[in-house]
Structure 1
Amino acid sequence: MFSIGRYSLAQLNKRSHKENAMKQLLVIFLMSALVLSGCATLNKNECLTANWYQIGYEDGARGFPDTRIGSHREACAKHGISPDFRAYLDGHEEGVIRFCTAQNGFAQGKNGYQYAGICPPSLEGRFLDGYDAGRQIYAVTSAIRSAESEQRQNEAKMSALEQEIISKKQVMFAAETSVEDRYRLDGELSSMQQDLGGLEQRNRQLLVDLAQAQAQLRVLEEKYAYF
């Protein structure tokens, strides 16, 4: 658990208002996405044999809000079946208890899960302790993946550019190449060398950024090893 002593009352209030606003936006986004997706959550056989308590439990344990039952209702209505709302909500409540732990919050945060405010007040604090820690690791890990991807792309561009430079030099110094073409090729080579220098400079910076991010990741993993 993070120590509350790190924050002043004003900071806590500001953080609380910000988190509440974020939760409301996330809930609205998730509900809109479910409505617009039009994807059936259950097939005919699943609707016919549905254990609505179990379905509610699984949805809650996976971090879905209880509004997900609307998607189940829409899917099963096509087959003339209505959900057992009470059983679903009872199951969902139990599933949420399993979901809203500090350890699971940490795991969900690391995986990039977008929290939609489904945890009850009695459990939310512990969940957010883990979730906030996991999100820190997720942010650094994402930055590392992005830098590694850019570095691979840069190296591929550098390799292709180096080969093109070699080819143009061979053409420029060929006996049959006219003086006019040599001047043109020399200008093109000068531009390509500048591009290559820019890629090399960016690659060096990426290596520095990667080293710093990897060091930061090790610090965070050690700091939050108790989750």
Structure 2
Amino acid sequence: MNFRTWLGGIVIAVLLLGCAASEQSLATQGDWYQIGYRDGIAGHQQRSYQSLHKLGAVQIANYDEGYNDGVTQYCNPDFAYQIGLSGQYYDGVCAGTPAGNQFRMEWQRGWDQYTSH
């Protein structure tokens, strides 16, 4: 393993730990809205109460509100093509939303171009 590979691995590990610590910090502060928002805006599936409870005394209503706000922004079809083109897998979180079908089609168009390279 060369130095650049080793250093790159260290940098990625530090960034991942920073994200985890940040999430734990938000839970400790009781900012469940922000945890939900981050999950939604990233296009992740909504977490279960049990998985959230592992972070602390979950306030599920605040998490749900943040998650819904994040998903609303994520599901904007104007950005779906870029999300697919960047190689981000779509996990179906926009299904059932007003722009869900349009989002899926635009994401698929970008994903097809991403995977054809």
TM score, norm. by length of structure 1: 0.38
Structure-2 change in CA distance of 1:112 and 1:68 (3 Å): farther
The reply to whether residue 51 of structure 1 matches residue 31 of structure 2 is yes
Identity rate of aligned residues, in percent?
24
CA–CA distance in structure 2, aligned partners of residues 133 and 45 of structure 1: 38
Greater helix content: 1
In the TM superposition, what is the alpha-carbon distance from 1:134 to its structure 2 partner?
0.5
Structure 2 spans left out of the alignment, 5+ residues: 1-18
- Change in 2 beyond 3 A, CA 1:67/1:101: same
- The one-letter amino acid of 1:73's match is H
The alignment's C-alpha RMSD in Å is 2.3
Cα drift, residue 82 of structure 1: 1.4
Q: Verify the 8 A CA contact 1:41 1:72 in the aligned structure 2.
A: no
Q: 1:104 to 1:53 in 2, by over 3 A?
A: same
Please tell me the residue identity of whatever aligns with 1:109. Answer: G
Task: Report the structure number with the largest CA radius of gyration.
Answer: 1
Structure scoring higher RCO (CA < 8 A, sep ≥ 6) equals 2
**What pairs up with 1:11-160 in 2 under 5 angstroms?**
41-42=20-21, 44-67=24-47, 70-74=50-54, 76=55, 81-121=56-96, 122-141=98-117
Structure 1 stretches of 5 or more lacking a match?
A: 1-39, 142-227
State the one-letter code of the partner of 1:56: G
SS of equivalent to 1:95: helix
TM-score normalized with structure 2 length: 0.70
Q: In the alignment, is the contact (CA less than 8 A) between 2:37 and 2:67 conserved in 1? A: yes
What per-residue deviation string (whole Å, max 9, x for no partner) do you get for residues 72-129 of structure 1?
322x2xxxx3111011011111110100122322122112222211114222112112
Gap change, CA 1:69 and 1:105, over 3 Å in 2:
farther
Figure out how many residues of one structure are paired with residues of the other and give that number: 97
Contact 1:41-1:71 within 8 A present in 2 as well: no
CA contact (8 A) 2:81 2:107 kept: yes
